[in-house]
Amino acid sequence: MDTVTVHDKTFEKYIDHAALMEAIDRVCDRLNADYAGSTRPPILMCTLHGALMFTSEVMQRLSFEARVACIKVSSYVGTHSTGGITSVLGPTKDVKGERVIILEDIVDTGLTIVNMRSMLAGLGAADVKVCTMLFKPESFRTHLEKTGLCPEEHLPEYYAMEIPDDFIVGFGLDYNEFGRNYPDIYKLKQ
C-alpha cells in the first residue's frame, strides 16, 4: 500500500518494513554488546500501546536474558512548564534495584521519557536507559530547551532511526488509536 487513510487523514508510505527491520537489527546489536554478561537480567519496559510491535522485534533479537514488563502512562499539562506524566497501568514488575530498558515507539518532545526516567528512578530502579524505535531530534531539542532542560542530558541512549518532525502511523504508532497495525510506517500527507 502506498497510502493509507486513518480517520480523516491520508498518510503516505515512509519507512519500508525491511528498512525498519535492518535499523532494529543494528540497535539490538548495540544492546547485545552493552548488556552481554549482565549478572542480573534487565527488565524491558514496554510502553503501551505504541511499543508493542517494537518490543516484540527487540525480544527476538536479544542474546542476553531479559524480563519483560509493561507500563502505560498518560501525559498531562501540569503546573510545571514541563508538564508531567501519570501512570495509568504498571509498571507491572517491581523495578527496585533493577536495571531497566524503557522501550518506546517514538521520542518526540521528550516529555514522556524525561518523566518516565524520574518515575522509575523514584521507584528505586538501579539504572534506567531508553531504547526507542524512532527519534525526532529537532522536536526533542526545541521542546527541552523551551522548558529549560539540557537536551544532551536526556537523549535516548539507543534509537533505531531518526526522523524529521513528521506525524507518522504504523508499526505500533497510532492516530487516535487507529493505524497501529500496518507493518510499514506512513507519514501524514501534506
Question: Catalytic residues, which ones?
Answer: 108
- Give Cα separations from 98 to 31, 65, 119 (angstroms): 16, 13, 14
Q: Which three cell numbers stand for residue 140?
A: 526533542
Cα(178)–Cα(155) distance, integer angstroms: 28
For Mg ion, the closer of residues 50 and 110 by Cβ is 50
What x/- string results for residues 48 through 67 when contact with Mg ion is judged by CB under 5 A?
--x-----------------
CB of 79 to ligand IMP, least distance (A): 18
Half-sphere exposure of 127 (CA within 13 A, CB side): 11
Q: 42 vs 170, which CB is nearer to ligand IMP? A: 170
Which of ligand IMP, Mg ion, none does 107 bind, CB closer than 5 to 8 A by kind? ligand IMP
Preceding omega of 143 cis (within 30 degrees of 0): no
Stretch of 24-32, 44-52, 114-122, 181-189 contacting Mg ion, by CB under 5 A: 44-52
Residue 30, C-alpha cell as written in the block: 548495540
Instruction: Report the residue number whose CB is nearest to Mg ion.
Output: 50
Rounded CA-CA distance 128/120 in Å is 7
Which among 112, 87, 28, 94 has a CA at the least distance from the CA of 63? 28
Task: Return the number of the residue (31 or 107) whose C-beta is nearest ligand IMP.
Answer: 107
- Chain positions contacting ligand IMP, by CB under 6 A: 50, 104-112, 167-168, 173-174
What's the closest the beta carbon of residue 163 comes to ligand IMP, in angstroms?
8
Q: Which residues bind Mg ion (CB under 5 A)?
A: 50
